[in-house]
Structure 1
Amino acid sequence: MPNTFNLCGEGKNATFKKDIIKYFVTNGNSTIQELAKDISLSIPTVTKAVSELLELGYIEEYGKQETNEGRRPILYGLNPDSGFFVGVEIKVGFINLGLMNFRGDLVELDDNVPCHTENTMESVDELCRLVKQFIDKSEIDKSRIQEVMFCISGRVNSSSGYSHTIYNFSEQPLTRLLSDRLGYQVDIENDTRAFAYGEYIKGVVRGERDVLFINASWGLGLGIIIDGELYRGKSGFAGEFGHTHMFDNDILCHCGKKGCLETEASGSALQRIVRNRIEEGESSFLTNHTGDIYSLESILDAINDEDPLCIDVVEHVGLRLGESVANLINLFNPELVVIGGVLSRAGEFLLQAVSASVRKYSLSIVNRDTRLCLSKLNERGGIIGTCLLARKIVLD
């Protein structure tokens, strides 16, 4: 069985204690009187639950509240080291690992750890070995690790625990396979949804409750947040934005179909178009570079160095992407659309092109209440969101 630390026990009292911890996570320190009022519980109930949480080490006293009247009440708040959450972001050929405390601070981070991300048991064993090494080298109390969350691209059913894109060779859920090997509670989620949740909690969201997150990377994904909650769809596959049919072209998408949106509006499209235009004789700063001049990293560096050809191509990609974002705005009427993923490194060159198409193709009465912006978390968004989702599962 997984070696999980029992957060608050079971029953109604456990629910009260989780509500108190959620309050501290969201609002910071508070007095018992403020807590009782804000979470609609009696002062004796809150006092009892706070005492038990103090004894368990989940909360601490933080001095007394300043006041001009009578006795100063004691301030209570979350003990950030009372619980930890491990996030594992699975990429092609490497993984990112993060360790987050209860307050939401990343206390450990390992980027770009080489890993053979293949659809084999040997790859799963290697993955688990790397996660164990990451946990073992940390100096935290390992019994305080509440959850390990993996985010994976493609079709992921977080409810059933199955991934349908990679690590899908076993009849048992991937979550059980990983949990048995690691000795902790394990959950999985789609990478774009994890990124969207990270942006929602710690990124550019400023109180909006209806948010769309566009993950413009090698492919194209969509994270949907409705009334503050991630929308997953019936089977957990909502958000396959890149595979909507948009073009009558003969470009084969990696899904096996032709005409998908991401064949013209993604990192793979950006790379293909830049390569074709240079090979047809157009000039670019890239031809003076060493190494892989057609890598996304090289192309994005050239864009930020104001290479005319690469800027022209990313603006073309942005206009195509913006046409579909306009459709999403007409469908969802969101408060906020966030453009993230690797292509967001193109900054205003991409954003302005997307914005131009949104203004052209969406209904003015719908888009006027929608804010469009770039991701704040950038390349950290996936791992931050993965850790935050692990915390959310424990508290929910």
Structure 2
Amino acid sequence: MNAAADNALTDVAQLVFAHLLEPGEATRKMLAESANLSFPTVTVALSELTGKGMVCELRREQGARGRATIVYGISEDAGWILGVDIGSTQVSFSARLLNGRVLAYGSRQHEGGAGRLGDMAGELVAQSPILKAMKTPPLVVALALNQVVPRQLARADRPRPLALEIAEMFVAASKLPRSIPFLLENNVNCAAVAEHQDGLMRGYSDAAYMQIGVGIGLGFFADGALIRGGQGGSGELAQIPVSWSNAVASGVDAIERKYGSVGLMQAASNSFFGSKKPSSPEELFSMAADGNEQAAALMTEYGVALGRIAAAATTILDPSVIVLGGGLTRNEAFAQIIIEEFQSRNRDTRIGISKKGSEATVLGACLLARDLAISQIVERFYKPLSARPTLMPRQAETSTI
């Protein structure tokens, strides 16, 4: 397969390729109309793209006058990308061709702790038989991390960010070359990208995704672009103080520690005694459904609080829609409490529950990897989802993949 550096397309070929990307397949006539080019110009561009292995003939359709019309699409030789989720409960990867076809997928559960997560994810990729058989490395690798990803990974006045350390562990364990682009992004932002491109946020220029699980975070789009903030820490809802009173301590990650799944289970541990104490949020919700008053009271307390946090976020951002995701939102009754509290305070912003489940993050990482790869191929003819992605410094190395 061709690496991005080998493409070196002319401007007109870049333009035609860009117009082929969204529909996935098109005829010469369709491309000429879309790109506002003459039929002969498109023919020359397609010849160049076909010669470089970027575009291929998908099929021929018989026309009304007996002539066969060629339908073109993105070639499987155009390259591939890799998205990796290094999360708080699992590591997973998805490898896809630039045309969208899934090459390989892998996932492994873990019990937390940042110490070996990069190694674990890298080993998962390195052990994939399909990826081992690939003759060229991916065009781009995107890593979704359950950490803040600073815009500047190396600053003399700051300690090395944990996100960079985890990423470096991954690169070493995966045996992928450092000479390719490695994009680092927060996991909630990746999930937001998945929702925006192919979920409940699709079609909205201003939209937000709120993750509610072990952590609490927000990813959002404004005017169609992913917003990362000046330092890379936009949407870090965990840092909201748990109290505005000087008499009440509010440490780091106060809201998250209080109202995430760990905080919920700590509250349950303090409320229940003996053998009936729930061991998981799912068990707590089940007890509430069976009529346990203590469990129902905790559900209401935490659901209302999370609904108010969501309402506070939308007051600042004013999105057209907010989508709730993460482990705690998968319980329909608990999610409904959040929604009702939110709607009692905000009737203008639509609210919904993500249908993507635990694979939203790795899907978003794939989309960001493809986004960067396309940006490098078609340059000025493509508006990227993330205008200034955070990339690891490149190094010239060899690879076994």
TM-score normalised by L of structure 1: 0.79
Displacement of 1:386: 0.9
Aligned to 2:23: 27
The 1:192/1:73 distance shift into structure 2, 3 A limit, reads same
The 5 Å alignment of 1:305-384 reads 309-347=294-332, 349-362=333-346, 367-368=347-348, 370-384=349-363
The 1:33/1:137 distance shift into structure 2, 3 A limit, reads closer
Give the share of equivalent positions with the same residue, in percent.
23
Amino acid at match of 1:266: G
Task: Encode CA deviations 1:245-275: one digit per residue, 9 max, x unaligned.
Answer: 242589877xx438x3324432222222222
Aligned residues: 369
Displacement of 1:394: 0.6
Taking the aligned partners of 1:302 and 1:26, their CA distance within structure 2 comes to 47
Matched, 1:132 2:116: no
Native 8 Å contact 2:81 2:141 kept in 1: yes
Native 8 Å contact 2:24 2:99 kept in 1: no
Native 8 Å contact 2:126 2:173 kept in 1: no
Aligned match for 1:57, one of 40, 53, 60 = 53
Taking the aligned partners of 2:144 and 2:184, their CA distance within structure 1 comes to 6
The 5 Å alignment of 1:154-233 reads 154-157=147-150, 160=153, 166=162, 168=164, 174=168, 181-183=175-177, 184-233=180-229
Matched, 1:287 2:280: no
Task: Encode CA deviations 1:339-395: one digit per residue, 9 max, x unaligned.
Answer: 001112112x23322222223333xxxx42x22100121111011111111111111
Matched, 1:257 2:252: yes
Native 8 Å contact 1:161 1:188 kept in 2: no
Aligned to 1:73: 69
Per mean C-alpha deviation after superposition, the further-off stretch among 104-113 and 65-74 is 65-74
Native 8 Å contact 1:304 1:346 kept in 2: no
Taking the aligned partners of 2:242 and 2:26, their CA distance within structure 1 comes to 52
Amino acid at match of 1:196: A
Taking the aligned partners of 2:320 and 2:209, their CA distance within structure 1 comes to 11
Native 8 Å contact 2:90 2:108 kept in 1: yes
Aligned to 2:240: 244
Q: Structure 1: 5+ residue runs without aligned partners? A: none
- Provide the secondary structure at the position in 2 that maps to 1:343: helix
Native 8 Å contact 1:216 1:344 kept in 2: yes
Native 8 Å contact 1:62 1:74 kept in 2: yes
Displacement of 1:210: 1.2
Taking the aligned partners of 2:285 and 2:77, their CA distance within structure 1 comes to 39
Aligned match for 1:266, one of 248, 260, 270 = 260
Taking the aligned partners of 1:312 and 1:219, their CA distance within structure 2 comes to 22
The 1:16/1:125 distance shift into structure 2, 3 A limit, reads farther
Per mean C-alpha deviation after superposition, the further-off stretch among 136-145 and 180-189 is 136-145
Per mean C-alpha deviation after superposition, the further-off stretch among 151-160 and 138-147 is 138-147
Taking the aligned partners of 2:296 and 2:102, their CA distance within structure 1 comes to 34
Native 8 Å contact 1:223 1:239 kept in 2: yes
Aligned to 1:85: 81
Amino acid at match of 1:334: P
Native 8 Å contact 1:149 1:188 kept in 2: yes
Taking the aligned partners of 1:371 and 1:175, their CA distance within structure 2 comes to 40
Displacement of 1:102: 2.2
Displacement of 1:169: 5.6
